[in-house]
Amino acid sequence: MPPPRRTAPPGTAEAILEDLIFARDAGGMVRADEQRLAGTIQLLGLSPSNEALHEARELLSAATERTCAHIAEAPDASAELLAACHSVRTILLQRVDEPVLASTARREAIAKYRCFMQPDSLRKRELPVLKAIAEKVMEIGRNRKPEDLPEAEGLLERMAPTAALLAESMTTAIEHLAIRTQLDDDAPVVRALDYTYWLLSELLIWPQAASEAIRAIPNRPIEYSILEQECLAILVMPFEADPANLSVLFAARDQHPGYEGFSQHLAEMENGAVAARRLEAWLCGCTEGCAFHRSLTVAAMCLAHQYVALLEDFVDAVHHLRSGEYGAEVRRLLAPLFPASQQQRSV
């Protein structure tokens, strides 16, 4: 494709708007290259590079998600605006492995909100949404230095893969510990504990920063507030018996090169043996009354499986955050708490 023709001055909302239009026409943020996102890269004060492109995509995606969530929550948003918002979000935030044609996204939005217009007419209605996103980018960009941590969405997405691995590893560790006395070889239990403790130490790098980034979002949508609470719960739940064990686990991680032998290393540290015993007791707390495998009621689960359920919910939420699916589900579940007008407008 030929390089895009730019007319807006650098450092302006108009330059960001050009980026958004170029990204939309290229097939989403994931397919927009450095030339098409040059305005955002310049706003961040970065030189063109793969890392700069990643930072620009992250900022534009964060602004798109927040802006579209606010429009969807507005009680006075028209059906046409909601449809335009839906098509913009679908096109810009599509995944590289799940391509969506712009015409398809617009037809789906028209059908969803019953706008009775042609896709090309809806395309023209997308401009106010794109302008609102550009203004949000400027707002974020003015308060963000290039060396700052990623936006909240980026931090959540860094946490999610480790959270998914930890949920799997914990499930294995709980099952092995339950039959430990029946095993001829303790090696599978040790490996499960090594990997679980190591992943837990890796995961806990991010929750505090993510919760603070979410808290700093002005007028954040309700789904962000829920994810903030989940981040804090991820940080706290394994260490309710003694919060000091958290710093012990961090120290062990800094001193050990990887997960192999990590549980033994933890047990040999000063105060580490106590921390290791408490974590193992936590994992051993599952009983026949635990409903993890037969019920979605978290209160009916043992403490360790409650944490696994929290991790799984967190991973699923983050995976569907940028698409808007998680926000829509949250608002559906919490509909009785919203005014009737907002219930009707929720996506």
DSSP codes joined into one string, 13-60: HHHHHHHHHHHHHHTSGGG--TTTTHHHHHHTT--SSHHHHHHHHHHH
Q: Is 317 exposed, middle or buried (0-12, 13-18, 19+ CB in 10 A)?
A: buried
pLDDT (tens digit, 9 = 90+) per residue, 162-178?
899 999 999 999 999 99
Angle at 91 between CA 87 and CA 95, to 5 degrees: 135
Over range 125-152, report the average pLDDT: 80
Please check the confidence at residue 245 and state whether its pLDDT lies above 60: yes
* Predicted confidence band of residue 148 (pLDDT cuts 50, 70, 90): low
pLDDT for res 143: 67
Q: How far apart are CA 86 and CA 111, in angstroms?
A: 11
Q: With pLDDT > 70 as the criterion, what percentage of the chain qualifies?
A: 93
Among 147-156, 166-175, 207-216, 273-282, where is mean pLDDT lowest? 147-156
pLDDT (tens digit, 9 = 90+) per residue, 108-132?
999 999 988 999 999 999 999 999 9
Over range 6-16, report the average pLDDT: 87
Q: How far apart are CA 232 and CA 21, in angstroms?
A: 37
pLDDT (tens digit, 9 = 90+) per residue, 246-268?
889 988 888 887 888 999 999 99
Count CB-CB contacts under 10 A for residue 116: 10
pLDDT (tens digit, 9 = 90+) per residue, 34-70?
999 999 988 887 777 888 898 889 889 989 988 998 8
pLDDT for res 345: 38
Mean pLDDT of the chain: 87
Angle at 149 between CA 148 and CA 153, to 5 degrees: 135
| Neighbouring residues of 139: CB distance < 8 A, sequence distance ≥ 6 | none
Over range 139-160, report the average pLDDT: 73
Please check the confidence at residue 328 and state whether its pLDDT lies above 80: yes
Please check the confidence at residue 331 and state whether its pLDDT lies above 60: yes
pLDDT (tens digit, 9 = 90+) per residue, 291-303?
998 888 899 999 9
Q: Map out the domains of the chain as residue ranges.
A: 13-142, 152-345
Q: How far apart are CA 199 and CA 259, in angstroms?
A: 8
Over range 149-158, report the average pLDDT: 78
pLDDT (tens digit, 9 = 90+) per residue, 81-95?
999 999 999 999 998
CA distances from 162 to 128, 135, 200, 334 (A): 38, 33, 8, 29
* pTM of full prediction above 0.85: no
pLDDT for res 141: 73
pLDDT for res 28: 93
DSSP tag of 291: -
CA distances from 51 to 68, 147, 197, 243, 306 (A): 26, 12, 31, 37, 37
Please check the confidence at residue 145 and state whether its pLDDT lies above 70: no
Structure tokens given for 243: 């919060």
pLDDT for res 262: 92
